[in-house]
Amino acid sequence: MTINEISKTTFFSNPFSDHKIFNYLFPLFTLTVGALITYKYMSSQHTEKEQQNTRQRQESYLTIQNQQETLQRLLKQNRDLERAQESQRLRERVEKPTTRTPQKTEEPFNLGINLVARAKNQTSTFSLKGRELDLEQLKIAIGRKETPNVILIGPPGSGKTCLVEAWAHEIANNEDPDYHFKDTVIISIAASDITEGASVIGIQEERVNRLIQYGRSHPNVIFFIDELHSIMKDGSTSTNGIPNMLKTALSSGDIRIIGCTTIDEFNLIKRDPAFKRRFSIIDFKPPTEEMVKEIVLTKVKQYTKHHGVGYPEEIIKKALELTKNMPGNNPAKTLNLLDTAGSLARQRKSTTVTLEILEAVAPKPSPSCLDRIRNLLKNSFP
């Protein structure tokens, strides 16, 4: 077979010359091109939709972020406004004298009560009998040039506060034999008056600075802080805590402080050795029976005037007997019993406190463990 004959065969011939092959291939080509066009169009539509969704998400995120920033800014402005209002209220409360404490000191310091001014022309409510040594130790410590500060440590109700008030009464009525304390002023400050409003920035610092500045400008002033351990609960370990702000002034003698606390609460003060080291410690022992009786007899005079009833001597002895065996025997328990009995006698329109009235208000002793077992056995086996 020659080359011309081979070239004329179906395999090597022009495909388009055969209409049957063209009719088979053209539909397939058309479907393929159409599928490619459709895929391309659908891909472009999907990509455009995704881009649109992405733009919407970005716009939503930016909108939410702007709203959050606006909300945070409004909340911060609201907090600042509340702090400013609270600070203003506390300043007005501190600076404005109240009717409850008319014996305020003169300006610029009016945070506490002047015990000496209050004690003038008043009858003493506390007897110093048996406490002469404690008062002498207090005066020696307060008279020091450096660290002239004292902490009275003793059980509750033992008369720590009364000792300071009795000393203020002696100063007010020129009964103090020590000439160095003739013009001394004792200002009683509650620890809560200093620590109140701790959440407001700058309030505590302002009060402590006023305290120090007033002590420096008035060397004759002694500050008395009952429950001294309370100031250790607010910022005692921070750099701007109240104890840390007072340490320098306490060491140099710019201010003089008398503090009171109990044996258990003194552990809070011992946690800061540097603050504790700036105080002289006086152990205030519980009063003896003679001291309790002397304190009760002095205080009963006030109860007689207040209730308008008499307290016979046997009633006072009976009250001392009833409270003698109570836990933590101190004058406060006996005085509380007599005060309640006087109120009941006034309600019953009695001129004196009788034994019946005293026993009516006296605390009933709780049954012992042995009595409880006996009652239990009696009820179980009648």
Whether 279 has a pLDDT exceeding 90, the answer reads yes
Question: What mean pLDDT comes out for the span 58-76?
Answer: 84
Computed over every residue of the chain, the mean pLDDT equals: 77
155 and 176 part of one domain: yes
Whether 10 has a pLDDT exceeding 60, the answer reads no
6 assigned to some structural domain: no
Whether 256 has a pLDDT exceeding 80, the answer reads yes
330 assigned to some structural domain: yes
Q: In whole angstroms, give the CA distance from residue 177 to residue 6.
A: 150
Looking at 264, 283, 302, the residue that finishes a domain is 283
- Better pLDDT: 195 or 15: 195
For 298-319, letters b (16+ CB in 10 Å) and e give bbbeebbeebebebeeebbebb
- What CATH code is carried by the domain that includes residue 296? 1.10.8
Looking at 283, 314, 336, the residue that finishes a domain is 283
41 assigned to some structural domain: yes
214 and 252 part of one domain: yes
Domain containing 204 equals 113-283
Question: What mean pLDDT comes out for the span 12-40?
Answer: 67
Q: Supply the pLDDT for residue 12.
A: 43
For 247-286, letters b (16+ CB in 10 Å) and e give eebbeebbbbbbbbbbeebbebbeebeebeebbeebebee
Of 225, 233, 224, the closest CA to residue 267 belongs to 233
302 and 205 part of one domain: no
90 assigned to some structural domain: no
279 and 294 part of one domain: no
Question: What mean pLDDT comes out for the span 337-347?
Answer: 90
pLDDT digits (tens, 9 = 90+) for 192-232: 777 776 555 567 788 888 888 888 888 899 999 988 888 88
pLDDT digits (tens, 9 = 90+) for 86-134: 767 666 654 544 433 434 444 445 668 888 888 886 666 666 677 888 8
55 and 40 part of one domain: yes
Across the strands, what pairs with 223?
Answer: 187, 257
- Better pLDDT: 257 or 177: 257
- Better pLDDT: 373 or 87: 87
Q: Supply the pLDDT for residue 382.
A: 52
5 assigned to some structural domain: no
Looking at 62, 79, 96, the residue that finishes a domain is 79
126 assigned to some structural domain: yes
223 and 123 part of one domain: yes
Whether 42 has a pLDDT exceeding 90, the answer reads no
pTM for the complete prediction? 0.61
240 and 303 part of one domain: no
267 and 131 part of one domain: yes
Q: Supply the pLDDT for residue 108.
A: 40
3 assigned to some structural domain: no
The answer to whether 323 and 329 are in contact (CB under 8 A) is yes
Domain total of the chain: 3
68 and 51 part of one domain: yes
Q: Supply the pLDDT for residue 327.
A: 61
Across the strands, what pairs with 152?
Answer: 260, 282
267 assigned to some structural domain: yes
342 and 223 part of one domain: no
Q: Supply the pLDDT for residue 151.
A: 93
SS3 letters for 124-161?
CCCCCCCCHHHHHHHHHHHCCCCCCCEEEECCCCCCHH
- What CATH code is carried by the domain that includes residue 143? 3.40.50.300
216 and 118 part of one domain: yes
Rounded percentage of the chain residues whose pLDDT exceeds 90: 8
187 and 232 part of one domain: yes
Whether 13 has a pLDDT exceeding 50, the answer reads no
Q: In whole angstroms, give the CA distance from residue 255 to residue 246.
A: 9
